[in-house]
Amino acid sequence: HTVQQGRMLCAPRIWPDFGGPRVLWTMGILTLVLCGCSGQPASLPWDLPAISSWEHQGGLVFIHTDSSLYSLPCSPIEMEVADPTYRWVQDRAAPKLFSVTKEGHLLFQHFQAGDSGKYSCTISYMKHGVPVSQTFHYSIFGYHVLGGLDTVLLFHSKLCEDEWTKSFLWGLQDKLRQLEIEQHCKLQFTATFCFPSLNNPSDEFILQVQLEVSLFGPQWDEHCNSQDTETITDCYYKTVQHNLGQVQLALTRFFKEHKSFHVTRADIPSINFTNQFIGFLKTKQCSGGYGQTKQLQRCLDCCIVCPPGMFSPPKNSQCFPCPVGTYSLIYGMAFCTPCKDGMITRVPGASSMMDCVKKERTKQAVSIVHRIPVLLLIILPALLAINFLFILSSCYCFYQEYQASSPRASKMTGSSTRTETVTSFFKIPRQGPQAGPDSGPASDASHLDTSASRGGDEECTHGEPSPAVTLNLATVTGETTPVLTLEDRKDTF
């Protein structure tokens, strides 16, 4: 059998007989080796995988809110396999029980916004004795067509107290329950206001009641049984429009038949609430937690459920990301949940409680802190340069003051100082004094003054004293009684 399989893969149709079965067996082995080396598949009956599994994207599935029954098959295509088993799971933290038919269909009864999410179905079966599994992934979104009714009711009463108003509304809602069942709708009181009557302000009050009518009550879609999206959406539109007119007629007839409502309490006379007006307003707005996201191409004006991280208030047609500091965990949230005290989310659109973190410094403060090193690198060199220039200028001024207050300068008198200045400026050679009785000391002083004058001239010219001036300064500095000589000269003049 092995040799025949090898012949079918690579060998020619006619095999010559070169020595019986042993040669054929050898040739078959060589054929298999050659086929393997040439890259051609040489699969044999016993070469089967241990386990086979596949992943498939089933796509988007849209289910209408409060639909009576929706059946979702495990596989989008018909599969003929023997004894399959089905397993449905949803990617949510809280476990949930599913209703699955024998054929593996997932059943949704009275579908709600919170039922939206990502679902996976795995079908397992045996093929040629090997276990095989295929998994199909679905993203399920709830939606609803537009259509609703807002009703305004006005009642006259003698009292305007909360306790009496609550008792009246409870009795009214109980009487309207039968109408809800007959018309397949939902009635909800949204607001009440009480104010004095204009005709008799002191003795009569008007109670205004706002009643919201939802057309998606029990068995509202009993005539729509198709699984095709386009067909069933058209059926939903027609059903909503028909029920809208029927509910309006039924409410008008009801309040004509029930003009007065009596509210009684123990040991207190009954109070009458008399109906005076009823008005209707047809609405085309999304329910809370839904928005017109245009994901359903065949129904662009339908309202799609808002995913986690987003919300939509009632009577709004858009889904918005949760603001910073809030989050939403599930589909169809009308309001976001705030983080705990001292916690905040980093960005809008948080979809988990784990996104809440402790409050930190604001981004502006953090950016300033990050910029401080850069500012220091820019400002510090300039500050160092300014300080260096200031030190140089201070040293220069100190040096000038030191030169002006040195001992050789203090030996000059008023007239000799002016003469020395003029002489040094015009570079006029100065004649020494005549010899006299004080020629010795005078000549010495004159010699010192002249040297100092020449030294000052050279300092202005070259910026530093000459060696001769330095020597003379050293000589003067080395004298032990320069001050006494100066005072003697002053006494002499």
Q: How confident is the model at residue 200 (pLDDT cuts 50, 70, 90)?
A: confident
Q: What pTM does this model have?
A: 0.61
- Residue 85 to residues 48, 54, 82, 123, 131, Cα–Cα distance (Å): 22, 15, 10, 6, 11
**CA 50 to chain CA centroid, nearest Å:** 46
372, two tokens: 């401080």
Report how far apart the first and last C-alpha atoms of the chain are (Å, whole number): 148
pLDDT digits (tens, 9 = 90+) for 392-407: 888 877 777 777 765 5
Alpha carbons 189 and 171: distance in angstroms, whole number:
12
Predicted local confidence at residue 367, as pLDDT: 54
Which amino acid is it at 321?
P
Q: Which amino acid is at 195?
A: F
The residue that leads in pLDDT, 339 or 15, is 339
What's 283-297 look like in SS3? Answer: ECCCCCCEECCCCCC
Amino acid residing at 339: C
Model confidence at 216, in pLDDT bands (50, 70, 90)?
A: very high
Pairing of strands 303-305, 290-291: antiparallel
Q: Which CATH code is given to the segment(s) 52-144? A: 2.60.40.10
- Strand partners for 138: 59, 119
The C-alpha atoms of residue 275 and residue 378 are separated, in whole angstroms, by: 80
The pLDDT, as a whole number, for residue 134 is 93
Helix%, strand%, coil% for the chain, nearest 5 = 40, 25, 35
Q: What is the pLDDT of residue 267?
A: 66
Q: Please state which CATH number belongs to domain 306-359.
A: 2.10.50
pLDDT of residue 347: 92
Average pLDDT, the chain: 75
| Element housing 87 (H / E) | strand 85-90
Using CA atoms, how far apart are residues 283 and 250, in angstroms rounded to an integer? 18
What pLDDT, on the 0 to 100 scale, is given for residue 5? 34
H runs (alpha helix) in 361-438:
363-404, 407-410, 414-426
Residue 366: count of CB within 10 angstroms of its CB = 11
Per-residue pLDDT of 272-299, as tens digits, reads 999 989 999 998 889 999 999 888 888 8
Range with the lowest mean pLDDT among 161-170, 390-399, 418-427? 418-427
3-state secondary structure of 427: coil
Q: What average pLDDT does the segment 216-242 reach?
A: 87
Residue 43 confidence (pLDDT) above 50:
no
pLDDT for the residue 444: 43
